[in-house]
């Protein structure tokens, strides 16, 4: 009865428009307080302070504000805008070139900022007018921009990978390393699709008529590309190489972002103030969700909710394969309605216990979850990336055109998800990559 009340109260609060963090946290506190005062369970909420203390002392989570700050600084420094503009111009004279340029920019921004919403909005504001002017099909260009912007979900140093590593008790370094191959496959699939469109439907992605000097464009592109690449090597290289921990690497990334911003002549008090404020607001939301989710799951597990779910899978779906399929379906559907933070902190801890019971490779499981969440971020009708893009382009592109444009890219993401599901051996940790690099060099 108490478990039913816990779930129903959280759903009612969500329907009433209460923010997710407070909806789940409040339902946990209400039911937990009832158990303390009326059901002779005085210790249920006494464990909550210890849990929260463990969260705030977690060195892995300490890297999140630093990575967010690094992304905010780069976003407001003008480096991202210059990168989008120069690469779009360089590839523009080729059929589909602007689309390929957007995909490359999306990958570089993902690896240097990792902020999906900001990336989609920036590319929507800067790249979409260029592609519209070149007479690209609006549905096609919408799909390219929205999908490229979501690469920040899977390409390290993705915030979602850090959260998954913490929730599933994995090494951030290994999860970053495991995400490299699917990231490469995904980028390659996007580019291959664009080339296919150019071959079969050339009027969808015509070449621009820009006759600028190719040497000057190449030089401009190099100047724009080198700074973020240096920062990527500095941050990700130090993590994957095992030189420093993610938190220290994130701090190094903030210093690198400040240096690059200074060299661009954009470093001032206003930039620091706005970047710091946005970081605080973003992190406040993340940790509010984390606190509320911990309160909810503490009461949920105390009432035996995790045991009930485990028993369901053992009785009706007694197979690791079926469990993973159902878990992926649940996460995919939930991704339509709630953000990945809520899924990671509320749903995933329950599923993680069942995955451990089945002795599933947790690195492989985490990678499937990450790719799945990226797909749901793009899927109509509630994909967050779609609405970010719509807010950036205004009435220039209709929402139906965006829905139509993202569908092929959703299929590509599901294809990569299927490949990683069917071939678990493709999940490579940091040691596997070390052996591959030794073999190559």
In a domain? residue 3: no
Determine contact, residues 75/274, Cβ cutoff 8 Å.
no
Model confidence at 219: pLDDT above 70: yes
The chain-wide mean pLDDT, for the chain, equals 83
- pLDDT tens digits, one per residue of 232-253: 888 888 888 878 888 888 899 8
- pLDDT tens digits, one per residue of 362-375: 999 999 999 998 88
The mean per-residue pLDDT over the stretch 258-285 comes to 86
Q: Tell me how far apart the 2 most distant CA atoms of the chain are, in Å.
A: 79
In a domain? residue 308: no
Q: How confident is the model at residue 140 (pLDDT cuts 50, 70, 90)?
A: very high
In a domain? residue 170: yes
pLDDT of residue 112: 72
| 3-state SS string for the chain | CHHHHHHHHHHHHHHCCCCHHHHHHHHHHHHHHHHHHHCCCCCHHHHHHHHHHHHHCCHHHHHHHHHHHHHHHHHHHCHHHHHHHHHHHHHCCCCCHHHHHHHHHHHHHHHHCCCHHHHHHHHHHHHHHHHHHCCCCHHHHHHHHHHHHHHHHCCCCCHHHHHHHHHCCCCHHHHHHHHHHHHHHHHHHHHHHHHHHHHHCHHHCCCCCCCCCHHHHHHHHHHHHHHHHHHHHHHHHHHHCCCCCHHHHHHHHHHHHHHHHHHCCCCCHHHHHHHHHHHHHHHHHHHHHHHHHHHHHHHHHHCCHHHHHHHHHHHHCCCHHHHHHHHHHHHHHHCCCCCHHHHHHHHHHHHHHHHHHCCCCHHHHHHHHHHHHHHHHHCCCCCHHHHHHHHHHHHHCCHHHHHHHHHHHHHHHHHHHHHHHHCHHHCCCHHHHHHHHHHHC
Q: How confident is the model at residue 193 (pLDDT cuts 50, 70, 90)?
A: very high
In a domain? residue 354: no
In a domain? residue 250: yes
The mean per-residue pLDDT over the stretch 302-325 comes to 79
In a domain? residue 319: no
CA distances to 16, 228, 272, 281 from 261, rounded to whole Å, are 43, 11, 10, 22
pLDDT of residue 382: 67
pLDDT of residue 421: 94
Model confidence at 13: pLDDT above 80: yes
Determine contact, residues 121/163, Cβ cutoff 8 Å.
no
How many domains does one find in the chain? Answer: 1
In a domain? residue 400: yes
Residues 333 and 376: their CA atoms lie apart, in Å, by: 7
In a domain? residue 316: no
Model confidence at 211: pLDDT above 60: no
The residue segments making up the domain with residue 435 are: 60-267+363-440
């Amino acid at each position: 009865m108490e478990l039913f009340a816990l779930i129903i109260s959280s759903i009612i609060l969500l329907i009433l428009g209460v923010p997710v963090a407070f909806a789940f946290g409040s339902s946990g506190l209400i039911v937990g307080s009832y158990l303390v005062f009326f059901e002779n369970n005085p210790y249920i909420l006494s464990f909550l302070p210890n849990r929260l203390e463990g969260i705030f002392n977690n060195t892995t989570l300490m890297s999140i504000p630093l990575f967010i700050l690094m992304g905010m600084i780069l976003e407001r420094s003008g480096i991202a805008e210059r990168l989008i503009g120069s690469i779009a111009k360089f590839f523009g004279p080729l059929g589909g070139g602007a689309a390929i340029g957007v995909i490359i920019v999306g990958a570089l921004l993902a690896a240097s900022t990792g902020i999906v919403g900001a990336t989609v909005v920036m590319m929507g504001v800067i790249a979409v007018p260029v592609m519209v002017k070149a007479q690209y099909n609006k549905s096609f260009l919408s799909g390219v921009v929205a999908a490229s912007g979501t690469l920040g979900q899977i390409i390290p140093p993705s915030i979602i990978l850090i959260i998954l590593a913490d929730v599933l008790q994995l090494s951030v370094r290994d999860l970053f390393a495991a995400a490299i191959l699917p990231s490469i496959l995904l980028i390659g699939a996007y580019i291959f699709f664009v080339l296919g469109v150019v071959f079969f439907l050339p009027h969808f992605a015509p070449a621009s008529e820009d006759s600028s000097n190719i040497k000057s464009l190449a030089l401009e592109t190099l100047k724009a590309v080198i700074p973020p690449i240096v920062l990527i090597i500095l941050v990700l290289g130090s993590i994957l190489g095992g030189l420093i921990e993610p938190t220290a690497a994130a701090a190094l990334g903030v210093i690198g972002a400040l240096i690059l911003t200074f060299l661009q002549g954009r470093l001032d008090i206003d930039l620091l103030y706005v970047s710091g404020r946005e970081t605080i607001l973003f992190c406040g939301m993340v940790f509010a969700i984390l606190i509320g989710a911990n309160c909810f799951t503490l009461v949920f597990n105390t009432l035996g909710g995790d045991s009930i779910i485990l028993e369901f899978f053992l009785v009706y779906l007694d197979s690791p394969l079926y469990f993973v399929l159902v878990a992926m379906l649940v996460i995919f559907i939930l991704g339509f309605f709630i953000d990945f933070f809520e899924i990671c902190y509320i749903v995933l801890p329950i599923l993680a216990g069942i995955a451990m019971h089945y002795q599933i490779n947790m690195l492989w499981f985490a990678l499937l979850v990450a790719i799945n969440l990226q797909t749901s971020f793009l899927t109509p009708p509630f994909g967050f990336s779609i609405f970010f893009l719509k807010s950036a382009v205004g009435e220039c592109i209709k929402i139906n055109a965006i829905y139509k444009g993202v569908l092929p890219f959703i299929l590509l993401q599901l294809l990569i998800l299927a490949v990683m599901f069917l071939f678990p051996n493709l999940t490579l940790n940091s040691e596997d990559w070390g052996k591959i690099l030794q073999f190559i060099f």
